[in-house]
Structure 1
Amino acid sequence: MELNDLIIFKTVVDEGSITKAAKELGYVQPNVSERIKKLEQELEAPLLHRNHKGISLLPSGEILLEYANRILHLVDEAKREIKIGGETYRIGTSQSILSAYLKDRIQEDFMKYQLIIDHSSQLQPLLLQQKADMIITYTNHANPELEEVFRTMLSMSLQKAKGGPVPNYADEFFFVSHDTQCPFRMHTVAFMEEHGLSKRKLHQVDSYSLIREFVAQGKGLAFLPSNTVDVENIDELTTADLPIYFYIHCASQKQIPRDIF
């Protein structure tokens, strides 16, 4: 059974006549009649009752019409999804890059983007398997299959609640994600080692927004992008600049949206 046979059958039913259906489809009437006949032979059941007024559905025809409507609806749905999927630009990145850099650049036209948020170690495989059109990452990849198309910097510093007192580090919790390649986590661990702080004060939270909220509520400290609202830099600490790398697959032919740079 071919998809076009279902279209012909449904058109015959909708038009109530083989002659009208042939005209609607741009076919000659014998071709339409032949396709209906082959459907009946394949299903081993009569589908239509033909009379001088046109056609009417037999019980087997009613069953087929129900399934034909479902199938054709699913095909139309698949076409729409494919069209949308072909138009959207898939970006793999981390929570912090999305919040601190990417969000403001895509919010006016967010419908054309599909965002895949994952740990740093999982971003390169997304691109190599062509499950993403671009990755934006803190990691400098040397893979020959990847092409770096842009690079920028993100300022980072240790931050506390806005207006809060200067912290005694030994009394504070330090919030980080579980992502071992996250530069905010790595800076936090290095800072705690440098100041002889207990690792028991390291609190892992796999939500960038929740880390930011906890710091804003005065529950602890965290290394965050310097432009984060509701928190403030701890003055005596120097900010650090983190490079952000933009990669596409070398085989990609998809046009890069320039509003993300």
Structure 2
Amino acid sequence: MDIRDLQIFLAVANEGSITRAAEKLEYVQSSISIRIQQLESELKTVLLHRNRQGIRLTTSGEALKSYAEKIIFLTQEAERVVSDNSIPRGRLRIGSLETTAAIRLPFILADYHKSYPEVDLTLKTGTTEELVQSVLKYELDGAFVAAPVDHAELEIIEVGAEELVLISRGQIGSIDGPDKLRNLTLLVFRVGCSYRRKLEDWLHLEGIIPAKLMEFGTLEGILGCIYAGLGVSLLPRSVIERAIVRYNLQYHEISDKFLRTPTLFIRRKDSYKTAAVSEFINISRKRFSIDESGRPIS
């Protein structure tokens, strides 16, 4: 098997479409189809079921996909290990929660780029569950997620902690307990978000069923709707400290320690920790321990 054939097959499997895979790889669609057919002929098995809606992996295709992910990762890692001379350089793929990307990450990236300009860093945002899966599938070198995370194949490093607070528009009165949320619309990220799960678990423990949940894909969408008076949300306090400049918002502290959550950096245990990754973790830890003015966070 040729490594390029495996890369093409994996692109088709991940995209669920030969057309989209061809666009992503900048290949002619017919060329992708021929390479897949040649791979099937070489392996003497059918890898894809083709239909009008796209493609679906066969049992053999699912098995090959798992090995292809590992083979491609190990090939890329071998290149990194051989060329790694303790000076951070090369590609670094980082994942992050929306809130971390909006509030914490800009300063981490600025510090990192200033110190290590030879690193080609890319960023992907998502929920904790999405980012965990991306790291496990070798699609990311590491990611910022919210606790709790527990997986035997992951190295889990606590880099900081977030105090979760309820955020509302200024006209809404004090929210001094979960009972006040009973008749309010709760604005949350999509399923898989740790903050959403924290809020739902907290209300469940208190025996409260919210009037309505509205799901959003971005932090800006949630903040804009809070500003419009649509509802309230549970978010890190660091978010309101930035958003209060732009929006007429207020936050309500919650004494329950259950709603204080560590921010974790996760990576695969079996992956080589390059100098680029090690220094990114070091800078992240330092940045999580100070505020925007450079003062230590207690």
TM-score tier, shorter chain, comes to 0.5 to 0.7
Alignment of 1:30-69 (within 5 A): none
2:190 aligned residue (165, 178, 186): 178
1:154 and 2:172 matched:
no
| Structure 2 Cα separation of the partners of residues 243 and 94 of structure 1 | 13
Alignment of 1:213-232 (within 5 A): 213-227=224-238, 228=240, 229-230=243-244, 231-232=249-250
What letter corresponds to residue 102 of structure 2 in structure 1? S
What letter corresponds to residue 108 of structure 2 in structure 1? R
**Which structure has the bigger radius of gyration?**
1
| Structure 1 Cα separation of the partners of residues 284 and 233 of structure 2 | 27
Taking a change above 3 Å as real, the CA distance of residues 198 and 161 of structure 1, as seen in their structure-2 partners, is closer
The number of aligned residues is: 176
Paired position in structure 2 for 1:259? 283
| Structure 2 Cα separation of the partners of residues 190 and 142 of structure 1 | 18
Paired position in structure 1 for 2:101? 98
Residues 157, 237 of structure 1: 8 Å contact kept: no
Paired position in structure 2 for 1:63? none
Q: How big is the shift at 1:172?
A: 2.2
Deviation digits for residues 112-140 of structure 1 (CA, Å, limit 9, x no counterpart): 42111122222223223322111211244
Q: CA-atom RMSD, angstroms?
A: 3.0
Residues 174, 188 of structure 1: 8 Å contact kept: no
Q: How big is the shift at 1:102?
A: 2.3
Paired position in structure 1 for 2:268? 249
Q: TM-score, normalised by structure 2?
A: 0.50
| Structure 1 residues without counterparts, runs of 5 or longer | 1-81
| Structure 2 residues without counterparts, runs of 5 or longer | 1-79, 84-88, 286-298
Paired position in structure 2 for 1:26? none
Taking a change above 3 Å as real, the CA distance of residues 220 and 114 of structure 1, as seen in their structure-2 partners, is same
Paired position in structure 2 for 1:208? 219
What letter corresponds to residue 248 of structure 1 in structure 2? R
| Structure 2 Cα separation of the partners of residues 210 and 129 of structure 1 | 29
Deviation digits for residues 177-215 of structure 1 (CA, Å, limit 9, x no counterpart): 1223x232123324544363445x111112122112222
Paired position in structure 1 for 2:130? 122
1:131 aligned residue (105, 128, 139): 139
Residues 153, 242 of structure 1: 8 Å contact kept: yes
Taking a change above 3 Å as real, the CA distance of residues 235 and 156 of structure 1, as seen in their structure-2 partners, is closer
Q: Percent identity?
A: 14
What letter corresponds to residue 244 of structure 1 in structure 2? T
Taking a change above 3 Å as real, the CA distance of residues 165 and 145 of structure 1, as seen in their structure-2 partners, is closer
| Structure 1 Cα separation of the partners of residues 151 and 200 of structure 2 | 28
